[in-house]
Amino acid sequence: MDTSSYKPGLEGVIAGISAVSMVDAEKNELLYRGYDIHDLVKHCSMDEVAYLLLYGELPERAALEAFNQRIRTDREVPPALYELFRTMPNNAHPMDRLKAAVALLAMFLPEDESNLRKAERLYAKLPTLVCASWRISQGQEPIAPDSSLDHNASFFHLLTGTPRTDYLAHVFNVTQILYAEHGFNASTFAARVTVSTLSDLYSGVVSAIGTLKGPLHGGANEAAMEMLQEIGSPESAQQWVRDALVQKKKIMGFGHREYKHGDERAKIVKGYAKELAERTGNTLWWEISELVEAEMLAAKKLHPNLDFPVASVYYLMELPIPVYTPIFVLSRTTGWSAHIIEQLENNRIIRPGHLYNGLEKRSLAPR
Ligand code: ACO
C-alpha cells in the first residue's frame, strides 16, 4: 500500500478556499475579512465582528443599528426549548444539551429564510439557550432576554440576572471576538462537510457543536481549568507537568496544528489574565499558569493556545466551568455560518478518498 499521499489528520492538506479569515502561522497573524485581530479587539464589539464575519464588511452606523435591532429582538426561544431542558438529565454536559437544543430549535424556525437570516437568528438565540440550559440544570428559573442589552451585557444578564458593562464585560468581549473565527479548524470543517451535501445551515451548526465539544478542540478551555485545579499550587506545577508528559498525557490548552511559534490570541488574553489576577487579588491561577507555560516551553517547545488563558480568565469572572465551551459556541456560530454560506456559494460535495487496509477479497460459501 502506497501511503505517501496520506496525511494523518489531513495535516497540511488544502481542503478549500476561503475569504473569511487568514491564518499566517509564520507571521503569527490572524485576520478576519482582512482586519487584524489586534485591531478588532481594540476597536470593535462582538456584535460588529459578527456583522463583519457574516456580511464581509464592518457595519456603518445605520447598518449596525438595524443589525442590533434584529438581534436584540430575536433572543426569545420557543417554550418547547425550556421544556426540553427540564426533561434532560441535569448532569448531561452543557454541550450535549446545547447540541440537542439547536436541533430542536431549528424545527421551529422558518425554513425558507436566507442563510444570513438563519445565522443571525442563531447568534441572537444561542446565549438564551446556553444560559437557560445551565440555569435549569442548576434548579434555577431561566431569565427572559432583555432587548436593550448588547451581546456581552445580555450574556451576563441571561446567566446571572445582572447585566455587566464593566471591565469584565470588556474582557468577555475580547474573548468572544477571538473565539469567533479561525479558518478550517475541525468544527468549521465539519460544518462545511455537512452543508456540502446541501443539508441546511442549522444541521451544519449542530455538526460543528458536536465537533467543538472534544478536548482536542473547544473542550480544551474546560479541561485546562480542571488541570489548573488539579495542580492546585505553584509548588506542584513543574512536577505535575513533568509527570504528565512522562505519561504521554496531552497538556490541555497547549500546542496547535497551525501555530508552532505561539498563538497571538493566547498572548492577547494572557494580558487580561494577569490584569484580572491583579484586580481580583487572586493570583493563584496566574502563578500556576506561568509555571506550566515555562515548563511546556522548556520540555516540549510548545506554546499555549487561546484556550489556556481563557480558562483562568473565565474562572476569575466566576463563570461555571461546564459553560466555557458553550461560551465558545456563542461567537463561533458567526464564523461557522460565514463558512457555511461560503461553502454553498461554490459548492461541491466534500468526499475524500481513503486507502484500504482490510482483508483481501474472499469468497462466500453458501450458508
Ligand atoms: N501536550 C503534550 N504534548 C503535546 C501537546 C500537548 N498539549 N500538543 C502536542 N503535543 C506533542 C505531541 O505529543 C507530539 O509529540 P511527539 O511528536 O513527540 O509525538 C507533537 O507535540 C505534535 O503534536 P500532535 O498532537 O501531532 O499535533 P496536532 O497538530 O495533531 O494536534 C492539538 C494539535 C490537537 C491542538 C494538540 O496540540 C493537542 O492535543 N493540544 C491539547 C488540546 C488543546 O489544547 N486543544 C485546543 C486547540 S485550540 C482551539 O481549539 C481553540
Q: What is the pLDDT of residue 320?
A: 98
User: What residues are paired with 30 via a beta bridge?
Assistant: 23
Residues 6+ apart with CB under 8 A from 173: 41, 45, 46, 151, 152
Measured between alpha carbons, how far is residue 248 from residues 220, 293, 317 in Å? 17, 17, 32
Residue (of 198, 75, 185) closest to 132 by Cα position? 75
> Across the chain, what does the average pLDDT equal?
97
Q: What is the pLDDT of residue 211?
A: 98
- Counting from 1 in the atom list of ligand 1, the atom nearest the Cα of 11 is 29
Q: Whose CA is nearest to atom 34 of ligand 1?
A: 216
Q: What is the pLDDT of residue 226?
A: 98
Query: How many angstroms does the Cα of residue 251 sit away from the middle of ligand 1?
Result: 8
Active site residue 307: yes
Residues 6+ apart with CB under 8 A from 348: 196
Query: How many angstroms does the Cα of residue 132 sit away from the middle of ligand 1?
Result: 33
User: What residues are paired with 32 via a beta bridge?
Assistant: 21, 35
Query: Which tens digits make up the pLDDT trace of 72-86?
Result: 999 999 999 999 999
Average of per-residue pLDDT across 228-248: 98
* Terminal Cα distance for the chain, rounded: 32
213 close to ligand 1 (CB < 6 Angstrom): no
Dist CA 158 CA 293 (whole Å): 34
CB 289 within 8 A of CB 202: no
* 147, pLDDT greater than 90: yes
Question: Catalytic pick from 256, 263, 303, 339?
Answer: 256
Edge to edge, what strands does the sheet with 35-36 contain? Answer: 21-24, 29-32, 35-36
- Provide, rounded to the nearest whole percent, the portion of the chain with pLDDT above 90: 99
Q: How confident is the model at residue 161 (pLDDT cuts 50, 70, 90)?
A: very high
Query: How many angstroms does the Cα of residue 254 sit away from the middle of ligand 1?
Result: 7
Cα angle at 36 between 35 and 41, to 5 degrees?
Answer: 100
Dist CA 134 CA 136 (whole Å): 6
Query: How many angstroms does the Cα of residue 150 sit away from the middle of ligand 1?
Result: 36
Q: Whose CA is nearest to atom 12 of ligand 1?
A: 250
Query: How many angstroms does the Cα of residue 250 sit away from the middle of ligand 1?
Result: 7
Q: Whose CA is nearest to atom 8 of ligand 1?
A: 255
Query: Which tens digits make up the pLDDT trace of 81-108?
Result: 999 999 999 999 999 999 999 999 999 9
Question: Catalytic pick from 150, 182, 307, 339?
Answer: 307
255 close to ligand 1 (CB < 6 Angstrom): yes
Active site residue 256: yes
From the number of C-beta atoms within 10 Å of its C-beta (0-12, 13-18, 19+), residue 203 rates as middle
Q: How confident is the model at residue 261 (pLDDT cuts 50, 70, 90)?
A: very high
Q: Whose CA is nearest to atom 19 of ligand 1?
A: 248
217 close to ligand 1 (CB < 6 Angstrom): yes
CB 345 within 8 A of CB 229: no
Take residue 47 and report the three cell numbers written for it.
Answer: 456584535
CA atoms within 13 A on the CB side of 244: 19
220 close to ligand 1 (CB < 6 Angstrom): yes
pTM: 0.97
218 close to ligand 1 (CB < 6 Angstrom): yes
Query: How many angstroms does the Cα of residue 257 sit away from the middle of ligand 1?
Result: 7
